[in-house]
Amino acid sequence: MRSAPLNWSPRAFAHRGAQIAVDTGLVAAAYWLAFYFRFDGNVPGRYERLFAGTVLIVVAIKVATFVAMRFYTKWWRFTSLRDLQAIVLAAAVSSLLVAAILSNWRPGDLVAVPRGVLVFDLVLTLTFIGGARFAVRSVIERPPRSELVSSGREVLICGAGDAGNTLLREMKRNRELGYTPVGLIDDDPRKRRLRVQGTRVRGTRADLPRVLREVHVDEVIIAMPSAPGLVRQEIVEACRRAGVPCTTLPGLPELITGDVTVSLLREVRVEDVLGRAPVESDFARVARYLNGRAVMVTGAGGSIGRELCRQVAAIGARRLVMVDHAENNLFEIDMELRERGHAGLLVPVIADCKDVGSMERVFEAERPEIVFHAAAYKHVPMMELNPLQAVANNALGTQVLADLAERHGVDRFCLVSTDKAVEPKTVMGGSKALAERVVESHGTTSATRFAAVRFGNVLGSSGSVLPIFQQQIERGGPVTVTHADMTRFFMTIPEAVQLVIEATGIAEGGDIFVLNMGEPVRILDLARRMIELSGHEPGVDIAIEVVGIRPGEKLHEELFNVDEEVKPTRYGKIMRATRPAIDPDRLRHSMVELNRLVADGRPEPVAAALWEILRVGRVMGDGGESQGARPSTRHGELQ
185, 205 contact by CB (below 8 A): yes
Q: Mind giving me the DSSP string for 10-37?
A: HHHHHHHHHHHHHHHHHHHHHHHHHHHH
Identified catalytic residue from 62, 74, 378, 420: 420
CA angle, 431 then 435 then 437, to 5°? 115
Instruction: Determine the Cα–Cα distance for residues 353 and 375; give it in Å rounded to an integer.
Output: 7
Instruction: Determine the Cα–Cα distance for residues 187 and 203; give it in Å rounded to an integer.
Output: 8
> What SS3 string covers 72-120?
HHECHHHCCHHHHHHHHHHHHHHHHHHHHHHHHCCCCCCCCCCHHHHHH
Burial 20-30 (b: 16+ CB within 10 A, else e): eebbeebbbeb
Instruction: Determine the Cα–Cα distance for residues 351 and 365; give it in Å rounded to an integer.
Output: 14
**Quick one: 92 exposed, middle or buried, by C-beta within 10 A (0-12, 13-18, 19+)?**
middle
CA distances to 242, 305, 417 from 497, rounded to whole Å, are: 36, 8, 12
**Quick one: 435 exposed, middle or buried, by C-beta within 10 A (0-12, 13-18, 19+)?**
buried
Cα 237 to chain centroid distance, Å, stands at 26
Instruction: Determine the Cα–Cα distance for residues 620 and 418; give it in Å rounded to an integer.
Output: 23
Q: Which residues contact 269 (CB under 8 A, 6 or more apart)?
A: 459, 460, 533
Residue 420 among the catalytic residues: yes
Helix (H) or strand (E) holding 322: strand 319-324
Beta strands in 108-212 (DSSP E): 153-158, 179-185, 195-196, 199-203
Instruction: Determine the Cα–Cα distance for residues 423 and 438; give it in Å rounded to an integer.
Output: 16
Query: β-strands 521-522, 487-488: how paired?
Result: antiparallel
Nearest to 342 by CA among 309, 370, 364: 309
CB count within 10 Å of CB 529 equals 21
Query: β-strands 346-350, 319-324: how paired?
Result: parallel
Amino acid at 396: L
- Rg over alpha carbons for the chain, rounded to the nearest Å, is 32
Question: Helix 81-104 and helix 115-141: axis angle, to 10°?
Answer: 150
Q: Mind giving me the DSSP string for 327-343?
A: HHHHHHHHHHHHHTT-G
Residues carrying an active site annotation: 420
